[in-house]
Amino acid sequence: MTRVVADISISLDGFVTGPNAGPDNGLGDGGEALHTWAFSGDDEDRRILREGTARSGAVILGRRLFDVVDGPKGWSEQVGYGATEVGKPAFVVMTSSPPESVRLTNLDWTFVTTGVSDAVAVARQKAPSGRDVVLMGGGASIHSALEAGLVDVLFVHLSPVVLGAGTPLFTGGATRTLVQRSVTVTSTATHLVYDIV
């Protein structure tokens, strides 16, 4: 069965971007430190990134994150989801209005205007059998999917940085019980995996 996996890097104080995040400053001030693990030479960091990419059948992101990755300072052949891996998943963007054009035309983009439940349904259809639907963010998208009870597994890459402000992942809402499945400590992050029950 296809799992819905929320996968996100977070600071010790609970932020998924630094302050002043926007299209030209995607991770906000100081937010690049959240993803140090994804570019490290640590063997365990590389394994976690490689395995996560290999499991991805379809990836969901919100419109603000899409505007960052598709913007002029966004993804390229060298930087982006699965950029150094073989194959690329389908991408599903939650938005109130699709963009007029897309810069990254070599990727499979689908724009869903009817909410997170429909975005997950579309992503499930696009994901090959046995592969995960991955919610990569932003924080509001993952939060809304958690609130809707649509997430099966939460992957948190806890970065050793305190940002002080930015985009929080958790902003209240329903209580969720998590079952810890694994903890991997590397030189750049603590990688935590939880089942959501």
Q: Which pLDDT tens digits describe the chain residue by residue (197 residues)?
A: 789 999 999 999 999 999 999 888 889 999 999 999 999 999 999 999 999 988 999 999 999 999 988 988 888 777 777 666 556 899 999 999 999 999 988 889 999 999 999 999 999 999 999 999 999 988 889 999 999 999 999 999 999 999 999 999 988 877 888 999 999 999 999 999 999 98
84, 157 Cβ separation under 8 angstroms: no
41: DSSP letter: -
Q: What is the CATH number of domain 4-196?
A: 3.40.430.10
Helix axis angle for 116-126 and 139-147, nearest 10°, is 100
The type of residue at 95 is: T
Which residue from 100, 178, 90, 179 is spatially nearest to 136, judged by alpha carbons?
90
pLDDT at 81 (0 to 100): 75
Domain ranges in the chain are 4-196
The type of residue at 183 is: V
Query: Which residues is 180 bridged to in the sheet?
Result: 194
What tokens does 89 get? 């998943």
3-state secondary structure of 116: helix
95, 112 Cβ separation under 8 angstroms: yes
Whole-angstrom Cα distance, residue 129 to residue 173?
Answer: 32
pTM of the predicted model as reported, rounded to 2 decimal places: 0.91
Give the full edge-to-edge strand order of the sheet including 190-196.
Answer: 109-112, 90-94, 56-62, 132-137, 4-11, 153-159, 190-196, 178-185
178, 25 Cβ separation under 8 angstroms: no
Angle ∠(91,153,1) on CA atoms, nearest 5: 70
Give, for 90, the enclosing helix (H) or strand (E). Answer: strand 90-94
